[in-house]
């Protein structure tokens, strides 16, 4: 990661810190106070040693100095603790605000981004990025700044108190120490980056495999999944071994430089004592100052590596904030004003990829309170209509309106609050049934949630469960059957009480008996609402006010059920084929021999 990129990350972080500029300044004041107290300790120790040596030694001076020595030691620790107490609020607040901003931003990104993302890697990037903020601030405020300040103070004091050579040796050793540490750590950073990449890939592979647990078991591919997971773990292991081995080299080089510098400075001090220019206390003071100075430098490699990694992790996280919102509200966009909820598609062209059109010049209207159904083969563009109506994407040409208002001129939140959907594949949160139904209108009274469950004919089922409303539904709702999940989805939509409804093949994945019972509930909740039905089973939309037949992104037929059957076109052919399939299934079920009961 380049220096320019690091400064760019710092610039993005600074505004979050400046919100607490008072705390930051107070923490810096405590930091300076702690370092002044820290450096004063060896100076005071010189006075103690000199007071206890020589023919003029008196007991009163060392006693007073010893008391001052203890007070300085205490104040150094106290100021450091006060610095930590004051600054922790700044660091944690920055982490919380950035994480929340990224969370909001991810929800604001287009469906295209979320269809292409890898959940495991994405969550790891956010987790490491927020942790990187804490790491960076901790090292900068609690390690780097104090060390730099102490280096400047000690070097200046040595030059002032003794001679230029003390400063030259100290600064020269420090520069050599820092240069070698940075050079070796930079080399190690490449291996650390590989470690993170392999860690993210392994995590993505593990999560993806666990989310598809049933598929893995269906095909007996546990060994295959373990092998793919182990490939990433093996690369991670190799990167860790290389990184940790190189740490030994770094520690050895650092120890050599420190040993050389301390030896040279102690030689200079000892020579001064022999010549009578320095006292024994000066030797003790120089030794104590150097020990205080070099102890934090022992961790310079770790600090540098962790800070570089924090910069890298934060850059990845901030990069998420840089992801452009494919769909964004116009400046000054107004709230959608619903007055009847008439929906209109006007000459709409759309494609997920510019090279392939999905919808071509699609025009139709759903008058307020009417029910329009869309049928067609898979890939004909039916579900894309619902995604465009929710404004997950913007049309390439034409426009979509609700009560004459172009969706691009109003806020996305107001559009989505006006529309309810019962999808084909209902995905539930890994929480209670009560939470999942109440999600339709968070904060709704419990009585209204129960009333919505009544409309969806699922209350009896819920209250018959051991944990009733507090029953958890599992990951993506896998503890419930398809019909039960659909009823939860219906109840959730009933609670939302939107003027516009979308049924996106809401019963196509269910068995015939469950489908018929749920169809009755869908008809009930769609009464007097503007409804778009995307259908697979044609028998479920015979009573629609209008039926649109789509083929390869175009509306090829439209009319009522009777009109389309009389036309004898594409719809009539689809009807005939489905009736034949239904008869074939009925015959097969009738001819199937009854299952004989067997004794256990």
pLDDT of residue 108: 66
Structure tokens at 508: 């196509």
pLDDT digits (tens, 9 = 90+) for 395-418: 888 888 988 888 888 888 888 888
What is the C-alpha separation between 257 and 179, in angstroms, rounded? 11
Helix/strand/coil (H/E/C) assignment for every residue in 419-485: EEEEECCCCCCCCEHHHHHHCCCCCCCHHHHHHHHHHCCCHHHHHCCCCHHHCECCHHHCCCCHHHH
Place of tokens 């000892």: 270
| CATH top class, domain 427-497 | alpha beta
pLDDT average, residue stretch 235-247: 77
pLDDT of residue 121: 60
Beta bridge partners of 551: 554
pLDDT digits (tens, 9 = 90+) for 487-541: 888 888 888 888 888 888 766 655 666 667 677 777 777 788 888 988 877 878 8
pLDDT average, residue stretch 375-391: 84
pLDDT of residue 599: 40
pLDDT of residue 76: 74
pLDDT at 216 over 60: yes
What is the C-alpha separation between 531 and 421, in angstroms, rounded? 10
Fold held by 337-418+499-587: Rossmann fold (3.40.50)
Give me the phi and psi of 472, to 5 degrees please: -80, 145
| Confidence band for 597, pLDDT divided at 50, 70 and 90 | very low
pLDDT average, residue stretch 551-576: 87
Pairing mode of beta strands 419-423, 397-402: unpaired
| Confidence band for 600, pLDDT divided at 50, 70 and 90 | very low
pLDDT of residue 41: 75
What residues does CATH 3.40.50.300 cover in the chain? 337-418+499-587, 427-497
pLDDT average, residue stretch 455-482: 81
pLDDT average, residue stretch 301-323: 71
What is the C-alpha separation between 155 and 350, in angstroms, rounded? 69
pLDDT of residue 61: 53
pLDDT at 92 over 70: yes
What is the C-alpha separation between 166 and 268, in angstroms, rounded? 8
What residues does CATH 1.20.1560.10 cover in the chain? 9-321
pLDDT average, residue stretch 194-223: 79
Instruction: Rank 96-105, 289-298, 509-518, 550-559 by mean pLDDT and report only the highest.
Output: 550-559
Checking phi first, is residue 546 left (phi over 0); if not, alpha (psi -120 to 50) or beta?
beta
pLDDT of residue 598: 42
pLDDT average, residue stretch 113-122: 58
pLDDT average, residue stretch 248-264: 79
Strand order in the sheet with 371-376: 419-423, 500-504, 530-534, 371-376, 546-551, 554-559
pLDDT of residue 4: 61
pLDDT at 346 over 80: yes
pLDDT of residue 199: 78
pLDDT of residue 457: 80
pLDDT at 593 over 70: no
**Which listed CATH number (1.20.210.10, 3.40.50.300, 1.20.1560.10, 3.60.15.10) goes with 9-321?**
1.20.1560.10
Out of 40-49, 170-179, 523-532, pick the least confident.
Answer: 40-49
pLDDT at 54 over 70: no
pLDDT digits (tens, 9 = 90+) for 261-272: 878 877 887 777
What is the C-alpha separation between 127 and 139, in angstroms, rounded? 18
In terms of Cα–Cα distance, which of 366, 364, 368 is closest to 338?
368
**Cβ–Cβ < 8 Å for 255, 301:** no
Model-level pTM? Answer: 0.61
- Give the number of other Cβ atoms within 10 Å of residue 135's Cβ: 20
pLDDT average, residue stretch 222-230: 84
Looking at the chain, the whole-number percentage of residues with pLDDT higher than 90 is: 0
Average pLDDT taken over every residue of the chain = 78
pLDDT at 42 over 70: yes
Which burial class, exposed, middle or buried, applies to 266 when counting CB atoms under 10 A from its CB (0-12, 13-18, 19+)?
A: middle
Fill in the DSSP letter of residue 219. Answer: T
CA 144 to chain centre: 29
- pLDDT: which is higher, 247 or 350: 350
């Amino acid at each position: 990661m380049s220096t320019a990129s690091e400064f760019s990350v710092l610039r993005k972080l600074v505004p979050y810190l400046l919100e607490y500029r008072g705390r930051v300044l107070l923490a810096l004041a405590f930091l300076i106070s702690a370092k002044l107290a820290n450096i004063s300790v060896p100076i005071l120790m010189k006075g103690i040693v000199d007071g206890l040596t020589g023919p003029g030694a008196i007991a009163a001076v060392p006693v007073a100095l010893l008391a001052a020595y203890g007070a300085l030691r205490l104040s150094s620790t106290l100021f450091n603790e006060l610095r930590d107490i004051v600054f922790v609020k700044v660091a944690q607040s920055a982490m919380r605000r950035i994480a929340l901003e990224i969370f909001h931003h991810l929800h604001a990104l287009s469906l295209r981004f979320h269809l292409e993302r890898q959940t495991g890697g994405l969550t790891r990037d956010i987790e490491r990025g927020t942790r990187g903020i804490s790491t960076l601030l901790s090292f900068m405020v609690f390690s780097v700044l104090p060390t730099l300040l102490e280096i400047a103070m000690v070097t200046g004091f040595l030059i002032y108190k003794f001679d230029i050579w003390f400063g030259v040796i100290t600064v020269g050793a420090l520069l050599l120490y820092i240069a070698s540490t940075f050079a070796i750590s930079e080399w190690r950073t490449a291996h650390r980056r590989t470690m993170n990449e392999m860690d993210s890939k392994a995590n993505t592979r593990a999560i993806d495999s666990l989310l598809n647990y049933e598929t893995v078991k269906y095909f007996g591919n546990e060994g295959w999944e373990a092998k793919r997971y182990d490939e990433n773990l093996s690369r991670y292991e190799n990167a860790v071994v290389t990184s940790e081995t190189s740490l030994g080299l770094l520690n050895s080089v650092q120890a050599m430089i420190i040993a050389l510098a301390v030896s040279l400075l102690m030689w200079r001090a000892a020579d001064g004592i022999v010549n009578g220019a320095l006292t024994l206390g000066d030797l003790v003071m120089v030794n104590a100052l150097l020990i205080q100075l070099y102890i934090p430098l022992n961790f310079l490699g770790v600090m540098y590596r962790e800070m570089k990694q924090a910069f890298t992790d934060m850059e990845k996280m901030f990069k998420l904030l840089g992801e452009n919102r494919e769909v964004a509200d116009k400046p000054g966009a107004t709230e959608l004003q619903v007055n009847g909820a008439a929906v209109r598609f006007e000459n709409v062209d759309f494609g997920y990829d510019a090279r392939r059109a999905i919808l071509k010049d699609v025009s139709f209207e759903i008058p307020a309170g009417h029910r329009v159904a869309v049928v067609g083969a898979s890939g004909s563009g039916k579900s894309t209509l619902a995604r465009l109506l929710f404004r997950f994407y913007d049309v390439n040409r034409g426009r979509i309106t609700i009560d004459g208002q172009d969706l691009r001129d109003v806020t996305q939140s107001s559009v989505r609050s006006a529309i309810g959907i019962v999808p084909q594949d209902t995905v539930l949160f890994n929480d209670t049934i009560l939470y999942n139904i109440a999600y339709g209108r968070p904060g709704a009274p419990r009585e209204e949630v129960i009333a919505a469950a009544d409309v969806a004919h699922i209350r009896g089922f819920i209250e018959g469960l051991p944990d009733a409303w507090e029953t958890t539904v599992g990951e993506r709702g896998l503890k419930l059957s398809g019909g039960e999940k659909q009823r939860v989805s219906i109840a959730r939509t009933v609670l939302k009480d939107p003027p516009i409804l979308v049924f996106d093949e809401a019963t196509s994945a269910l068995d015939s008996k469950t489908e018929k019972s749920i169809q009755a509930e869908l008809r009930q909740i769609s009464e007097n609402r503007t409804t778009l039905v995307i259908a697979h089973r044609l028998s479920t939309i015979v009573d629609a006010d209008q039926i649109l037949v789509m083929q390869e992104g175009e509306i090829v037929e439209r009319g009522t059920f009777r009109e389309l059957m009389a036309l004898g076109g594409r719809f009539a052919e689809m009807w005939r084929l489905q009736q034949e399939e239904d008869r074939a299934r009925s015959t097969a079920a009738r001819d199937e021999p009854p299952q004989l009961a067997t004794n256990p």
